[in-house]
């Protein structure tokens, strides 16, 4: 039975009230205990959603500021103004500005044009169309922090129209081609989403939340280097796995005709598309060589956003209308700020000390690491939002892993990447899921079967090949170590 909005709000109010009434545990400050109550209520709010994420986070930030101001001795640990510190974070602005580049691919039509060229070049079988999805999403993902927008605005409409053009109907002939093609869209997007720091908004959020706990951080190029070997291996296996599970009845495709019709509808390539293509390449080069150029990833994204507006690729009105970008700015800034004040109130120190007294893996830090990563993927069955999962579980898994003696670098990278591929397990594990599943071609059984194999198969790859690759990168000095 679904909860009404009134019932949901009652739950959210009751949680912090209980924390206010119950004394703080031994060793934890009163302000940290009360802020924890607000934080937990916020996480529950992100899951049950009485309102959108921005509204919930703004309410949480306001409640946190009021709590700090009215708790005796709180100012010795955390300042009221620190509740807004997440909006000063470069992470928040990196994701927001990258949304402009993302929307430009949709507005100008460049994303569709690239897709139809790829279909014409290599899409002469249904299996190869699966790889068209891989190459298209791989190309777009570095500049598209909303995988929902990437899938829903570019990849899904094109692949869905291809399925229709092939005569595959959701009710009459889903197995002809559509079931395979649409399943492959989602599984591909969930994999490309962890290959780049800027490919999915929760990536940067998770990194920001774990940094104060684990003392480990990577930049854009270090992230890609770490993700590249295990991630690309998983990515190029996905069309084959989906093909085996949802084998299409149609094998050969008249790709030339499909591509020709699509490009004719788009017309000649405009100056805006050409300008965007150049900016996209420059942005990638800026992120790759950020350290050499003496800038950071956020600066590169800001410059790219401004140039998009100045060159009339998008207008300021387009930026204003980008609801997903503004929503992300508000709620990610809020959740990062709340994590920061919990850190300042020494909550994570207390949690680590408490867990240390009751959790003992002995000298088996690697075992602890593997167990934590298995749990991190398994628990994704419970979350319909990668952002909600990150806010709720990443601080806990990071703290438990640190206390259990798991290698910090492997723990950080493992958790960062598992958030995305872990969302493959269900058709609601991320924003693109309801979009692609909603097309009507797929059944839950085959979707969940593919999701289980891809999620836990990816986990196996990352805990074997991935671990070896990350240790190699650190030994070569191409990946930092904790505290450096």
The count of other CB atoms within 10 Å of the CB of residue 169 is 13
Alpha helix ranges (H) inside 109-200: 110-122, 126-140, 147-150, 156-165, 178-192
Q: Does the pLDDT value for residue 482 go beyond 80?
A: no
332 neighbors 86 (Cβ within 8 angstroms): yes
Count helices and strands (H / E) in the chain: 24, 0
Whole-number Å distance between alpha carbons of 249 and 285: 42
pLDDT of residue 70: 85
pLDDT of residue 351: 83
pLDDT of residue 465: 98
Over residues 345-356, mean pLDDT: 83
Residue of 470 and 330 predicted with greater confidence: 470
Band of residue 484 on the pLDDT scale cut at 50, 70, 90? low
Select from 80, 45, 24, 30 the least CA-distant residue to 341: 80
Among the ranges given (40-44, 69-73, 283-287, 318-322), the one the predictor scored with the smallest mean pLDDT:
69-73
pLDDT of residue 483: 63
pLDDT of residue 1: 61
- Phi and psi at 361, nearest 5°, equal -100, 5
- Maximum average pLDDT range among 33-47, 156-170, 463-477: 463-477
Q: Does the pLDDT value for residue 355 go beyond 90?
A: no
pLDDT of residue 90: 81
The count of other CB atoms within 10 Å of the CB of residue 101 is 25
**3-state DSSP assignment of residue 125:** strand
Residue of 417 and 88 predicted with greater confidence: 417
Q: Does the pLDDT value for residue 363 go beyond 80?
A: no
Over residues 357-370, mean pLDDT: 80
pLDDT of residue 16: 94
pLDDT of residue 6: 92
Here the tokens at position 224 are: 């890609």
**pLDDT > 90: what percent of the chain?**
51
Alpha helix ranges (H) inside 215-322: 220-245, 255-266, 271-288, 290-293, 297-310, 316-321
Q: Does the pLDDT value for residue 187 go beyond 80?
A: yes
Q: Does the pLDDT value for residue 228 go beyond 90?
A: yes
**3-state DSSP assignment of residue 467:** helix
Select from 245, 234, 225, 220 the least CA-distant residue to 189: 234
pTM of the model: 0.82
Q: For the chain, give the mean pLDDT.
A: 89
């Amino acid at each position: 039975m679904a909860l009404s909005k009134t019932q949901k709000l009652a739950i959210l109010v009751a949680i912090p009230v209980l924390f206010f009434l119950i004394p703080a545990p031994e060793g934890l400050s009163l302000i940290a205990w009360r802020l924890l109550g607000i934080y937990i209520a916020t996480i529950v709010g992100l899951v049950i959603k009485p309102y959108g994420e921005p509204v919930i986070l703004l309410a949480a930030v306001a409640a946190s500021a009021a709590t700090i101001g009215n708790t005796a001795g709180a100012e010795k640990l955390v300042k009221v103004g620190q509740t807004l510190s997440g909006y000063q974070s470069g992470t928040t602005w990196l994701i927001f500005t990258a949304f402009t580049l993302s929307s430009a691919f949709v507005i100008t039509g460049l994303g569709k044009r690239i897709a139809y060229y790829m279909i014409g070049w290599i899409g002469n079988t249904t299996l190869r169309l699966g790889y068209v999805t891989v190459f298209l999403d791989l190309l777009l993902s570095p500049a598209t922090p909303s995988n929902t927008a990437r899938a829903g605005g570019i990849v899904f409409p094109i692949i869905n129209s291809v399925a229709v053009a092939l005569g595959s109907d959701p009710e009459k002939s889903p197995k002809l081609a559509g079931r395979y093609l649409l399943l492959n869209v989602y599984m591909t997007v969930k994999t490309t989403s962890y290959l780049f720091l800027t490919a999915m908004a929760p990536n940067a959020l998770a990194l920001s939340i774990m940094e104060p706990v684990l003392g480990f951080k990577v930049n854009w190029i270090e992230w890609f280097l770490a993700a590249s070997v295990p991630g690309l291996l998983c990515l190029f296996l996905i069309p084959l796995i989906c093909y085996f599970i949802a084998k299409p009845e149609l094998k050969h495709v008249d790709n030339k005709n499909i591509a020709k019709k699509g490009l004719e509808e788009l017309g000649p390539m405009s100056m805006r598309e050409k300008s965007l293509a150049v900016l996209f390449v420059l942005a990638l080069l800026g992120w790759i060589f950020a350290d050499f150029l003496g800038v950071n990833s956020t600066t590169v994204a800001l410059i790219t956003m401004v140039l998009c507006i100045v060159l009339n690729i998008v207008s300021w009105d387009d930026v204003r209308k980008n609801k997903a970008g503004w929503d992300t700015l508000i709620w990610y800034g809020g959740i990062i700020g709340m994590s920061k004040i919990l850190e300042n109130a020494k909550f994570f120190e207390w949690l680590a000390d408490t867990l240390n007294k009751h959790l003992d893996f002995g000298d088996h830090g690697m075992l602890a690491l593997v167990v934590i990563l298995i749990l991190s993927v398994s628990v994704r069955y419970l979350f319909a939002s990668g952002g909600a999962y990150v806010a709720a579980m990443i601080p806990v898994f990071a703290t438990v892993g640190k206390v259990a003696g798991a290698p910090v670098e492997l723990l950080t990278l493992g958790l960062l990447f598992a958030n995305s591929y872990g969302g493959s397990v269900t058709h609601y594990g991320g924003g693109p899921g309801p979009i692609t599943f909603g097309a009507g071609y797929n059944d839950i059984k085959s979707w969940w079967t593919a999701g289980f194999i891809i999620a836990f198969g990816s986990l196996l790859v990352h805990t074997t090949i991935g671990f070896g690759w990350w240790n190699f990168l650190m030994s070569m000095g191409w990946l930092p170590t904790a505290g450096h």
